[in-house]
Amino acid sequence: MAQLFTEDEVRKMIAAAVTEAVAPLLARIAQLEAEVARLKKNSGNSSKPPSSDIVKPPKPDASKHRGKRAIGGQPGHAKHERKPFGQDEVDRIVECELTAEESRGLRPLQQWRVVQQVELVERPFVITEYRARLYLDPRSGQIVAAALPPDVAATGLVGPRLSAAIAFQKAACHMSYTTIHNFWHDVAGLHLSRGQLAKVVQKVSRAIQRPYEELCDMLARQSRLGIDESGHKDAGQRHWTWCFRAPQFTVFHIDPSRGSNVLRAVLGETFGGVIGCDYFSAYHKYMADSGATVQFCMAHLIRDIRFLTEQTNVNLVRWGEKLLACLCKLFHTLHRRDRCRREVFARRMEAIRRGFLKQVRHPPSVRRGC
């Protein structure tokens, strides 16, 4: 006998069947949309470098890597193992030997199977109590105290190494005082108030003031510097964090100004090195006033040239495409510099430079109707 269903039951059955059939289609659509978004990424809408907009190194042949590779070292690759700690680095040695019963009939060798293990100590700090004996002067009735060690008197509760660790967490790790407090309290078993942590950071700031000034003085003598500035607010007031990147060190300078006067104050009236920067007007003015050599940012140049290729003027578009072709050749050569001799690489880069400058020096006509 045929089974009869109500109209409501039929609707539910149809809805369930449609849902089951559509689910894989929706999943596939989501997958394709994610892939399209990935392919549309460029230096303007992601953290990709500008050079990736116009050229990429060739991808390996996909036919050579069919199937999913296993995790870990791949066939043909040399094995890499961690270098063991030296004996001067080992704090404790534990020798494991067989019992007398287990070693019966065996001759012990002066050889060992070595396994090294690194572990945190139960309490990674030492509390030292310094006692300065008090003395009574019977003639005057005054109490005289013995002198504490100078470094103890200067540092107080938190010693130099712990102070450096706290300052590192605050400055380099960008941890809040609450996070630092929780780390030392929950992990190390040491209770330090947030106010005490703030005092420690201020103490370290005062201690490194002189080395900071020495690095600032060294900036003017560098052969090349990368400079950039980023705005932020401090107590509601606009400030700028200037970054001066030297080959061996970096100096950050916070200033309420974003003008060329900051460059003059930090680098002096004349700078003999090369400055790498963007097109911001302060660098143009400093270059004109000081005669400094400036290498403007390649990322900004690429974006400006790409802007030319998006115009309606045919001559501008063609000119922009020629400039992009020069840059494409430049990065193509740069990405393959390890495949040729140094003199060949230098000769190719020089030829690309001359070709690019030739195009730049002959801009097209931008008259109406062209």
Q: Confirm if 158 and 190 have CB atoms less than 8 A apart.
A: no
pLDDT at residue 25, rounded to an integer: 85
Task: Retrieve residue 293's tokens.
Answer: 């050599």
Number of domains the chain contains: 3
- Facing residues of 243 across strands? 228, 252
Reduced to 3 states (helix: H, G, I; strand: E, B; else coil), residue 133 is coil
Which conformational region is residue 47 in: left (phi greater than 0), alpha (psi within -120 to 50 degrees), or beta? Answer: alpha
Question: Domain range for residue 252?
Answer: 212-296
Q: Is the pTM of this model over 0.85?
A: no
- Facing residues of 241 across strands? 230, 254
35 domain-assigned: no
14 domain-assigned: no
Q: Summarize pLDDT for 49-104 with one digit per residue, the tens.
A: 665 666 554 555 555 555 667 776 677 777 778 889 999 999 999 999 999 999 99
Task: Round to the nearest angstrom and report the end-to-end CA distance of the chain.
Answer: 83
Are 220 and 151 in a shared domain?
Answer: no
What separation in angstroms does the CA of 238 have from each of 215, 232, 255, 256, 257?
25, 6, 9, 6, 9
**Beta strand segments in the chain, E:** 134-136, 143-145, 224-234, 237-245, 250-255, 274-277, 293-296
Are 230 and 289 in a shared domain?
Answer: yes
| Closest C-alpha among 213, 251, 210 to residue 229 | 251
Are 282 and 244 in a shared domain?
Answer: yes
Q: How far apart are the C-alpha atoms of 257 and 242, rounded to whole Å?
A: 10
Last residue of a domain, one of 188, 207, 226: 207
Q: How far apart are the C-alpha atoms of 225 and 287, rounded to whole Å?
A: 14
pLDDT at residue 301, rounded to an integer: 87
CATH number for 281? 3.30.420.10
pLDDT at residue 248, rounded to an integer: 94
Mean pLDDT of the chain: 86
Q: How far apart are the C-alpha atoms of 337 and 225, rounded to whole Å?
A: 24
Are 175 and 239 in a shared domain?
Answer: no
Written as one letter, the residue type at 129 is E
pLDDT at residue 255, rounded to an integer: 95
Are 251 and 268 in a shared domain?
Answer: yes
70 domain-assigned: no
pLDDT at residue 140, rounded to an integer: 92
Reduced to 3 states (helix: H, G, I; strand: E, B; else coil), residue 36 is helix
317 domain-assigned: yes
Are 181 and 220 in a shared domain?
Answer: no
DSSP per residue, 174-213: ---HHHHHHIIIIIS-----HHHHHHHHHHHHHHTHHHHH
309 domain-assigned: yes
Q: Summarize pLDDT for 255-309 with one digit per residue, the tens.
A: 999 999 999 999 999 898 999 999 899 999 999 998 889 998 888 888 888 888 8
Last residue of a domain, one of 207, 237, 258: 207
Between CA 360 and CA 309, with CA 313 as vertex, the angle to 5 degrees is: 60
291 domain-assigned: yes
Are 279 and 327 in a shared domain?
Answer: no
Last residue of a domain, one of 244, 266, 296: 296
